[in-house]
Amino acid sequence: MNSIGVFGLGVMGANLAMNMANKNGKVAIYNYTSDLTDSFQAKHQNKNIEAHYQLDSFINSLEKPRKIFLMVTAGQVVDSVIASLLPLLDQGDIIMDGGNSNFLDSNRRYGYLKKKGLHFISVGVSGGEKGALNGPALMPSGDKEAYQQVAPILEKIAAQVDGKPCCSYLGKEGSGHYVKMVHNGIEYADMQLITEAYQFLRERLKLDVNQIAAIFEEWNNGELESYLMEITSAILTHVDEETNLPMVDVILDKSAQKGTGKWTSQNALDIGVSLSIITESVFMRFLSTVKEERMIAEQELNGPNPFMGAVNKKEWIELVRQALFMGKICTYAQGFYQYKQASEQYKWELQLDEIALIFGGGCIIRAGILNEISNAFKENKELSNLFLSPYFKDKLNNYQEAIRKVVIKGMETGLALPCFNASLIYYDGYRSAKSGANMIQAQRDYFGAHTYQRVDKEGDFHTIW
């Protein structure tokens, strides 16, 4: 009998199946269409893998309670697959969904399957194809008892950091997919921040791609250490074989997206938290798509002198480094604040220190900073905002001047740095005891009698203006 079944043999599903088999699991594989099963079989010979072409033989080959890992396209497909499995399953069987599903769908599927006596586990999976094969970060949620039954498999295939798997039970219902969704939002912002640092170095300090690659490599040895920093440095030295130009200059500057960043922002609006940095990164992807309009606008619309003149480049490079680290802190502060609020509002009991630990290996946003984030939430379970933890407070106090200088220089020379800007605005907004919202309240009360609270006594008040 097989210990687990993998349904869906696209690159991610195939690699996860191989990962499970390589860790000595007995794995049954199945795909809706036989072509992917055939190509899997032609590519991999693994004694621990058993290919099935019929759904019932796939299901019947599994030990009970059956454990089925779905790696299919998120959305409607997941519902169709679940519908096709239902007649073949028994009470207590476990369906795991490893796709980038929307957590609202996962909540619904969890409730629906629970009523049928089945377990549904949302598993956020991060790390791309290589991660899937060698060790992804896994973010599982659902019923804790059901998780215990799949934990030995999931924790074995996950990335390991200091002997600990980047996988642990995160919370109720579809919270695993929620955690993955915000992970992706952070990924968008992190990518945009690195891009802004790159643009500043290239377009304002006039450094070439090789110089920037070397700078990023050096930064990657310090507090900015991260997978995204590492690959950006590698990207910059890659040359296009056809044109002999830097690959990055040959790639069209229109960005695609599959929607998880947008969901993160939509949810922030739903639960009422400030998520300006991630949201700016989503907006910048949208703005990038109107390339043709941007090309016309460049000819038509005025801007300032884009030249910085003679400056001390070494000093500016360090300012950009500090600005980037500060932007990263602000992004994580907002992302983890969103986790905290979501956990309270949805009653999920998310463990923020655990989430940061899971992100420490295998996933796309893995970075040195996550250790500090985990420590901050471990030391103070009540911590509301990372900004107020000793380590980050210190960094912010030291680096706020640098990001300010970079943002001002960007504005002065007409270089859009939306995530750097949003980071600084959030920082200044958060550290201001006086917000200006008293004026908003007065205006609301003036035109709509919406009432306001006073600084000197309790209650709701209205003025006849």
Query: Is 10 known as a binding-site position?
Result: yes
Smallest separation (angstroms) from ligand 6PG to the CB of 15? 12
31 is in an annotated binding site: yes
Token pair belonging to 434? 């006086």
* Secondary structure (DSSP) of 91-106: TT-EEEE-S---HHHH
x/- map, 132-161, ligand 6PG, by CB under 6 A: ------------------------------
CB 22 within 8 A of CB 32: no
Longest dimension (CA), the chain: 81
Query: Which of these is catalytic: 50, 173, 187, 354?
Result: 187
Q: Does 179 bind ligand 6PG (CB under 6 A)?
A: no
**Is 9 annotated as contributing to ligand binding?**
yes
Interacting residue with ligand 6PG among 19, 141, 184, 423 (CB under 6 A):
184
DSSP string, 279-309: HHHHHHHHHHT-HHHHHHHHHHS--------
Amino acid at 457: K
| Of residues 61 and 257, the one with the C-beta less far from ligand 6PG | 257
Residue 124: CB partners within 8 Å, gap ≥ 6? 100, 137, 138, 139, 140, 176, 177, 179, 180, 181, 183
Q: Which of 89, 178, 166, 161 is nearest to 127 (CA)?
A: 166
To the query of whether residue 298 is one of the catalytic residues in this protein, the response is: no
Comparing CB distances to ligand 6PG, the nearer of 360 and 410 is 360
Site string for ligand 6PG, 251-290 (x = CB under 6 A): -----xxx-xx-----------------------------
CA distances from 100 to 32, 70, 402 (A): 19, 11, 36
Position 126 contacts ligand 6PG (CB under 6 A): yes
117 secondary structure, DSSP code? T
d(CA 446, CA 436): 16
Q: Which is nearer to ligand 6PG, 42 or 256 (CB)?
A: 256
CA dihedral 96, 99, 103, 108 (to 10 degrees): -50
Judged by CB under 6 A, the residue of 85, 248, 277, 363 near ligand 6PG is 363
Which residues, including other chains, have CB under 8 Å from residue 121's CB and lie 6 or more apart? 94, 95, 96, 97, 140, 141, 142, 143, 146, 147, 150, 176
Contact 118, 152 (CB under 8 A): no
Q: Is residue 285 part of an annotated ligand binding site?
A: yes
Options 100, 233, 331, 423; binder of ligand 6PG; rule CB under 6 A: 100
Residue 98 makes contact with ligand 6PG by CB under 6 A: no
Choices 121-129, 192-200, 214-222, 457-465; region in contact with ligand 6PG by CB under 6 A: 121-129
Q: Is 64 one of the catalytic residues?
A: no
According to the annotation, is 135 in a ligand binding site? no
The terminus-to-terminus CA distance of the chain in angstroms comes to: 78
Cis peptide before 418 (omega within 30 of 0): no
- Measured CA distances, 339 to 336, 349, 464 (Å): 5, 10, 41
Give the Cα separation of 368 and 106 in Å (integer). 31
Encoded one letter per residue, x for contact with ligand 6PG by CB under 6 A and - for no contact, window 43-82 reads ----------------------------------------
Q: State which of positions 187-206 bind ligand 6PG (CB under 6 A).
A: 187
* 188 marked as binding residue: yes
Q: Give the 3-state secondary structure of residue 119.
A: strand
Instruction: Tell me: does residue 176 bind ligand 6PG (CB under 6 A).
Output: no
Q: What's the Cα-to-Cα distance from 202 to each of 211, 213, 307, 308, 424, rounded to whole Å? A: 9, 11, 12, 12, 22
Which CB sits closer to ligand 6PG, 363 or 424?
A: 363
- Inter-residue contact 404 to 424 (CB < 8 Å): yes
Question: Which listed range, 201-209, 222-230, 250-258, 375-383, lies at the site for ligand 6PG (CB under 6 A)?
Answer: 250-258
The catalytically annotated residue of 26, 172, 180, 262 is 180
Instruction: Select from 275, 329, 364, 376 the one that contacts ligand 6PG (CB under 6 A).
Output: 364
Answer for the pair 223, 369: CB distance below 8 angstroms, yes or no: yes
Asked if residue 421 binds ligand 6PG (CB under 6 A), the reply is no
**12 annotated as a binding-site residue:** yes
Select from 120-128, 384-392, 404-412, 425-433 the region that touches ligand 6PG (CB under 6 A).
120-128
The site for ligand 6PG, by CB under 6 A, has a size of: 13
Task: Enumerate the known binding-site residues for NADP(+).
Answer: 8-13, 31-33, 72-74, 100
Q: Which segments are annotated as binding site for substrate?
A: 100, 126-128, 183-184, 188, 258, 285, 444, 450
Question: Which residues are annotated binding-site positions?
Answer: 8-13, 31-33, 72-74, 100, 126-128, 183-184, 188, 258, 285, 444, 450
Residues at the interface with ligand 6PG (CB under 6 A): 100, 126-128, 184, 187, 256-258, 260-261, 363-364
Show which residues are catalytic.
Answer: 180, 187
